[in-house]
Amino acid sequence: MSTSQEQGVIRADICIIGAGIAGLNALYVASRYLRPGQSIVLVDRHERPGGMWVETYDYVHLHQPHQFFTAGDLPWTSGLPPEHLASKGEVLEHLSQCVAEVGRRVRLTQLLGHDFEGADEDDEQVTATCRAPDGSTVRVVADRLINAVGLRVEPNPPLPLSSDRVRSVSPETCDMRDGPIAADDAPVWVVGSGKTGMDAVHALVTHHPGREVNLLGGTGTFFINRDLFYPTGARRWWGGLRPNGLMVALADRFDGTNEAETWAWCREQYGVWAPPTAEHCFIGLISPAEIETIRAGLHQVVLDHLVDAVDSVDGVRLTLRSGHHLDVAPGSWVVNCTSHLDFHGRSSEPPYLSPGGRVVHVGASGMFGFSSFAGYFLTHLLMLGKIGEVPLYTADGISLFQASTSAGVAAALTLAQYNLGLVLDAVPAKVFAECGLDFDRWYPLPRRLVGQVKFLAGHKRKRQHYRRALETVGERFGIEVGPLVGAASTGRHRSLA
């Protein structure tokens, strides 16, 4: 199918919605199956590729070595050392280069700054309706559509507080390193102990030594010790912990009911955290050195949740969910670093495959653990004509995370192991060999081969355990878990392999 534009209509072979890490992995994979004369349309509401990285706070950086954050196996060309934690600007530059590289392989049309409004599917094609910046309508008529908006991470707004004597900001509205917050030395209260909270505290204590920085940390978040995952030098040969090995170990421990024990084991074996205690984990990474810097710079840590800030005769009072309160100095800064992954108030997502088999949805279900992996593997299955044949397990991820964050993360890891095993049996070996997202690539090939052999030897044997754990989670929380029902097999559609 050739690309042509006529009266607001673009015709293409593939339409991809979303230019974040999930969408760019879908883009990369799709381009490998198309011939040079075939075409892809890439749609995104931002003015440039990058997804959440376009809007997030300026001092954000990767918490993993940069080369594993890419599209497919496209290498970084910036010459950075392997252990470098890429900055926002470096990430955006690399993702733009990934798009440019795909554009050299196929005919690529970028509809950046366009809002996706919906799609209609029939037996022959999919028609996506998009809204251009000037308000005009653009329709993309394609053979297949991949909705790869992933987790739909949105910037945090300042918290709506009753007091007019504190200054409520968020990292996206106020840089912790300079700007308005650097113009005085008033106390700062960082709300949230996840990745954003740790980034904010670290920026504050390193750029403003001696300033009063406090943490209101909920129930506490722990992270995986990055130094264990990514040892440097010769220790790559004998030290450290393969990331994939931990993912498998967590899935093997989880039985659908014991998420608290599973995460407690993980925390004690591999965790680091800044608050006195920590209950939650999103498989984020941080180094012990960063944690020590954060701990040393914190004036006070309170493990509770902020409800409001209210003016009183004597000053300002922070009211907390527990019923307790904190009196803070007028003029204090309150920084909203609560989770960007807020599933509350969101409705369930559509199935990953439409009944007609032409639309794939890469969403928040955690089918492969991370949206980047979902974009990569689901697109391979689509382009091979196998996505309707492989009985992937799915779960209503939004409902699950609304019911229990800790169970949701454990279930997502289990779901990923189950589905990766099914994909392994269904696709050519090169699909896994060419996956540049694989965290284990940090280690020399002999160490990676050990992990691969273990996975090959055990993935079929473990399926019954994984299924039972997932179905138990579904029963506990009243959530549908299992293979997709009602989607058409795509065997009747031509494979583009």
Residues 7-45: pLDDT tens digits?
Answer: 589 999 999 999 999 999 999 999 999 998 999 999 999
My answer on whether 147 and 188 are in the same domain is no
Same domain, 410 and 392: yes
Any domain includes 186: yes
Question: What pTM, to 2 d.p., does this model score?
Answer: 0.93
Q: Are residues 210 and 278 in the same domain?
A: yes
Per the listing, tokens 């696709």 go with 427
Task: Please report, in angstroms and rounded to a whole number, the separation of the first and last CA atoms in the chain.
Answer: 16
Q: Are residues 322 and 352 in the same domain?
A: no
Residue (of 245, 68, 232, 44) closest to 150 by Cα position: 44
Query: CA dist 190 to 80, 264, 447, Å?
Result: 32, 25, 41
- Both structure tokens of 104: 């050299």
Is residue 396 in some structural domain?
yes
* pLDDT score, position 494: 39
On whether both 288 and 198 belong to a single domain, the answer is yes
Q: Are 484 and 351 in contact (CB under 8 A)?
A: yes
- A 10 A CB-CB count for 444 gives 11
Pairing of strands 285-286, 188-191: unpaired
CA-based radius of gyration for the chain: 23
497, part of any domain: no
Q: Which of 280, 307, 336 lies at the terminal end of a domain, its last residue?
A: 336
- The last residue of a domain, from among 302, 336, 370: 336
What gap in Å lies between CA 363 and CA 150, rounded to an integer? 5
For the domain that residue 252 is a member of, what is the CATH number? 3.50.50.60
Instruction: Give how many domains the chain has, as a whole number.
Output: 2
**Residue 292 in domain:** yes
From first to last of the 497 residues of the chain, give the pLDDT tens digit: 444 445 589 999 999 999 999 999 999 999 999 998 999 999 999 999 999 999 999 999 999 999 999 999 999 998 899 999 999 999 999 999 999 999 999 999 999 999 999 999 999 999 999 999 999 999 999 999 999 986 666 788 999 999 999 999 999 999 999 989 999 999 999 999 999 999 999 999 999 999 999 999 999 999 999 999 999 999 999 999 999 999 999 999 999 999 999 999 999 999 999 999 999 898 899 999 999 999 999 999 999 999 999 998 888 999 999 999 999 999 999 999 997 665 555 566 788 999 999 999 997 557 898 899 999 999 999 999 999 999 999 988 888 888 898 999 999 999 999 999 999 999 999 999 999 999 999 999 999 998 888 888 888 899 999 999 999 999 999 998 999 865 554 433 333 43
Q: Are residues 461 and 327 in the same domain?
A: no
Q: Which domain holds residue 425?
A: 5-154+344-492
330 and 377 housed in the same domain: no
Please give the DSSP secondary-structure letter assigned to residue 39. E
CB atoms under 10 Å from CB of 60, counted, come to 19
Give yes or no: residues 442 and 378 share one domain: yes
pLDDT at 176: 96
How many C-beta neighbours within 10 Å does residue 322 have?
11
List the beta strands (DSSP E) in 356-480: 359-361, 393-395
Q: CA 497, CA 486: separation in Å to the nearest integer?
A: 25
Query: Are the CB atoms for 377 and 366 separated by under 8 Å?
Result: no
Co-location of 476 and 382 in the same domain: yes
Q: Compute the distance between CA of residue 343 and CA of residue 325 in angstroms, rounded to an integer.
A: 27
In a domain, 160, yes or no: no
Q: Which pLDDT does position 63 carry in this prediction? A: 94
Domain boundary pick from 273, 305, 336: 336
Structural domain contains residue 161: no
**Per-residue pLDDT, 283:** 87
As given in the structure block, the two tokens for residue 483 are 């293979």
Report d(CA 344, CA 398) in Å as an integer.
8
Q: How big, in percent rounded to 5, are the helix, strand and coil portions of the chain?
A: 35, 20, 45
